[in-house]
Amino acid sequence: MIEPETFTFLTDLALNNRKAWVDEHREERDDAMRNFAGIAQSLHDYSDRFDTLVADTKSKPKQSYTKFFQDARQRSGPGLYRTEIDIFANAGHPEEDFGYYLHIAPGKCYAGAGLLQPSKEGLARTRARLNEDPEGLKDALEDEDFRAMFPTVLLTDKELNVVPEGYDNSDPAAPFLKMVGWRCQTAIADEDLLDDDVIYTLIDIFRAAAPLVRHFN
């Protein structure tokens, strides 16, 4: 599924994260982008096996993975370019709606579901859903297949010190209301992603994550 050259490019990019180097390696960058678009298409082609809403959505492979260049407002680390790429399978938009994703970074690949970098509107809508139905979220997180696949439950890259304005610390969903982005994940070895048959592993992961996606969507 992942071309070996894609892993090589991401590894080299991490060591040479500057425009001059990327300009010199435009062909390798373009090959990696084609690889990501192909993976996005494959995830959509198999989506009827884990989420019919995704299957019924028009496929947009070139818009289904994070771009290399980092906008200054969203930049992570000192480099201009991302060295970790997320490929999405969504029924909506990955900044607006929960969906399934494959995270690709040499030595740190995983798959799962979530809303990783929500827009302002997506953040507000998700928090309203958390406040509205905390028991529904609890049921999703306690699903037997979900717990077996994602023992760490929900993770976030950013957490507020207090609940957002308009919510109460006594809210049953308070720990999740403090999160700015939500995800569940399970690790996948790089060498497994080199094999096309890994799609069946991804299907199993996404099926286990489906209760979480259904709760929010």
The predicted pLDDT at position 68 comes to 84
The predicted pLDDT at position 74 comes to 61
Average pLDDT, the chain: 93
Per-residue pLDDT for 75 more than 80? no
The end-to-end CA distance of the chain, in Å, is 28
Structure tokens at 158: 């950013």
- The strand pairing partners of 103, in sequence order, are 86, 110
What percent of the chain is modeled with pLDDT above 70? Answer: 96
**What average pLDDT does this structure show over 103-111?**
97
- Reduced DSSP (H G I as helix, E B as strand, rest coil) percent helix, strand, coil of the chain, to 5: 50, 15, 35
Q: Provide the sign of the torsion angle of the four alpha carbons 206, 54, 133, 117, taken in this order.
A: positive
Residue type, 78: P
d(CA 93, CA 88): 9
Per-residue pLDDT for 59 more than 80? yes
Tell me which of 8-12, 72-76, 118-122 is least confident.
72-76
What are the sequence ranges of the domains in the chain? 4-216
So what's the architecture of 4-216 in CATH? 2-Layer Sandwich (3.30)
CA 66 to chain centre: 9
Tell me which of 25-29, 73-77, 141-145, 171-175 is least confident.
73-77
The predicted pLDDT at position 64 comes to 95
The predicted pLDDT at position 80 comes to 84
R_g over Cα of the chain: 18
Q: Provide the sign of the torsion angle of the four alpha carbons 147, 207, 185, 170, taken in this order.
A: negative
**What average pLDDT does this structure show over 17-29?**
94
Q: Using one digit for the tens of pLDDT, what is the confidence trace for 121-171?
A: 999 999 999 999 999 999 999 999 999 999 989 999 999 999 999 998 888
Per-residue pLDDT for 70 more than 80? no
Tell me which of 73-77, 158-162, 177-181, 207-211 is least confident.
73-77
With 0-12 / 13-18 / 19 or more C-beta atoms within 10 angstroms meaning exposed / middle / buried, residue 55 is: middle
Per-residue pLDDT for 40 more than 90? yes
Looking at residue 60, the DSSP 8-state letter turns out to be -
